[in-house]
Amino acid sequence: MVSERRVRLPAEWESQSGVMITWPHEDTDWADSLEMVYPTFAEIGTAIAERETLLSVCRSQQHLATIRGLLNDSGAQTANLKFCVADSNDSWARDHGPLTTLDGDAALLNDFAFNGWGGRFEATLDSAISRRLQAGHAFGDNPMKTHDLVLEGGAIETDGFRTLLATRSSLVGEHRNPGQDQQAIEYALENGLGFERFLWLDHGCITGDDTDGHIDTLARFADPQTVLYATAPPGDSDHAGLAAMAGQLHSFRTADGRPYRLMPLPFPGIHLDRNGRRLPASYANFLIINDAVLLPTYGVPQDDEAEATIQEAFPDREIVTIDCQQVIQQNGSLHCLTMQFPDQVALHDGQRFIAA
C-alpha cells in the first residue's frame, strides 16, 4: 500500500524558529549607502529577535562584530541573536536562502539554483550561501538537498496546503530554466516542494522590479482563503497589468472550489532614485513572523491605509511598520531581505566558517 504524500512547503504564518538576514557590506551594491540602510536592517532584525531567532549572515568576523554592535545598540534581544560567516554578493536572503519543506515533523532544507535573477547580477557567492551555512551547522543536523532547478524564494507563494501562487514570467522561460516548459517546471516543483495545485499569473509587474515579476511584490496569501494584492490607479504605468492580474485572481478558486477573499492593497505612490529611476515600492512585500507582521512603509499617507488593511487580514497579529525607503533604492523591500524557517529547524551560531 502506497502511503499518502506528506511533503509540503509550510505557509509563512505557521510557527517559526527564526528568520535569516544576509547583511550588506562594502563590496555589495549597498556600499555607498551602508550608513543609511544599516538602521533599517537593524530595525527589522530587532523586531524579529523580539519574537524568534534572528540568524545574521555576515561576510567576515570583522563584519560580524559590526553587525552584533548594531543589533545591540538597537536593543535587540541578545538571547535570540545567532551569527554565521559566509561572504555574499548581495543581501536578498529571500532568493538565495534555503526553502524548508516538512514531511510530518521532519524538515528538509532545499537549496535551489540561483543565477542572479536570470544572469542580471553576479551571484557566485550568493548561490553558495545555503551550503556554506549548512556546512557550518547553522541549521543544526537538518539535512539539505541541492536542486538543479533555478528558483528564488520570492517567486513562490503558498497556502501551506500544496497550492502554488506564482507568475509564469519568474519561473518558466529562458532567464531561469531554458528548455523546460511549464509542465516540466510543475513536475520539478511537485517533486521538490510538494505542490499539487498551480495558480499561474500571466499579468502584473511593478515598475523597477528586476526579477521578472516576483509574486512577493504582487500577491500574497494571508490565509488559505485570502489573498492580498497590489494595485495602481488609472493613468499609472502599472495600472493595466495589475488590473489584469486582479481579474485573474478573481478567476482562481480555493482547493474546495470557492472564490478567494481578495483584499486590494493601496498604491504606495511613485518613488524615484536620485537619477529619476522609478523604484519598486510594494505593500505586498510584508513578512509574517510569530505573532506579528512586518510591513514595509514608504513615508506616504497610504502607509496608514496599508497598515489597516494588513491588520484586517491578520487580526490576531501585531502590525509592525518599517520604513523601507532606503531599502527600495536597491530594487527590493522587506520580504526580499528575509527568509523564515519553521519550528522544526533550530538555528545556531556557525561553528565552522567556510572560506569563499
Sheet holding 163-167, edge to edge: 157-158, 163-167, 197-201
Q: What is the pLDDT of residues 218-256, one digit of tens each?
A: 999 999 999 999 999 999 999 999 999 999 999 999 999
Which tops the pLDDT comparison, 183 or 354?
Answer: 183
- Structural element, H or E, at residue 101: strand 99-103
Contacts by 30-35, CB closer than 8 A, 24 or more apart: 30/91, 30/330, 33/326, 33/329
Which tops the pLDDT comparison, 338 or 1?
Answer: 338
Can you give the pLDDT at residue 356? Answer: 34
Nearest 10 degrees: CA dihedral of 6, 7, 12, 13? 20
Q: How confident is the model at residue 173 (pLDDT cuts 50, 70, 90)?
A: confident
Residue with cell 530595525: 43
Can you give the pLDDT at residue 346? Answer: 95
Can you give the pLDDT at residue 354? Answer: 40
Q: What is the pLDDT of residues 185-215, one digit of tens each?
A: 999 999 999 999 999 999 999 999 999 999 9
d(CA 259, CA 109) in angstroms, rounded, equals 33
Can you give the pLDDT at residue 174? Answer: 84
Q: 52 near 345, Cβ under 8 Å?
A: no
Give me the mean pLDDT over the 3-11 stretch: 81
Percent of the chain with pLDDT over 90: 94
CB count within 10 Å of CB 216 equals 28
Please state which of the ranges 5-9, 168-172, 184-188, 304-308 shows the lowest mean pLDDT.
5-9
Give me the mean pLDDT over the 3-16 stretch: 87
Kindly report the CATH class assigned to 16-342. alpha beta
3-class SS of residue 121:
coil
- Tell me the β-bridge partners of 200: 166
Q: What is the pLDDT of residues 95-149, one digit of tens each?
A: 999 999 999 999 999 999 999 998 899 999 999 999 999 999 999 999 999 999 9
- Counting Cβ atoms within 10 Å, is residue 226 exposed (0-12), middle (13-18) or buried (19+)? middle
Can you give the pLDDT at residue 350? Answer: 84
Across the chain, mean pLDDT equals: 95
DSSP string, 216-250: GGTEEEEETTEEEE----TTSTTHHHHHHHHHHHH
Q: What is the pLDDT of residues 289-313, one digit of tens each?
A: 999 999 999 999 999 999 999 999 9
SS (H, E, C) 172-187: CCCCCCCCCCHHHHHH
Three cell numbers at 186? 510543475
d(CA 311, CA 306) in angstroms, rounded, equals 8
Can you give the pLDDT at residue 1? Answer: 35
Can you give the pLDDT at residue 220? Answer: 98
DSSP letter (8 states) at residue 266: P
pTM above 0.85, yes or no: yes
CB count within 10 Å of CB 243 equals 15
Can you give the pLDDT at residue 324? Answer: 98
Can you give the pLDDT at residue 355? Answer: 38
Residue 49: which of 71, 25, 23, 24 has the closest Cα? 71
Percent of the chain with pLDDT over 70: 97
Query: What phi and psi, each to the nearest 5 degrees, are found at residue 101?
Result: -100, 155
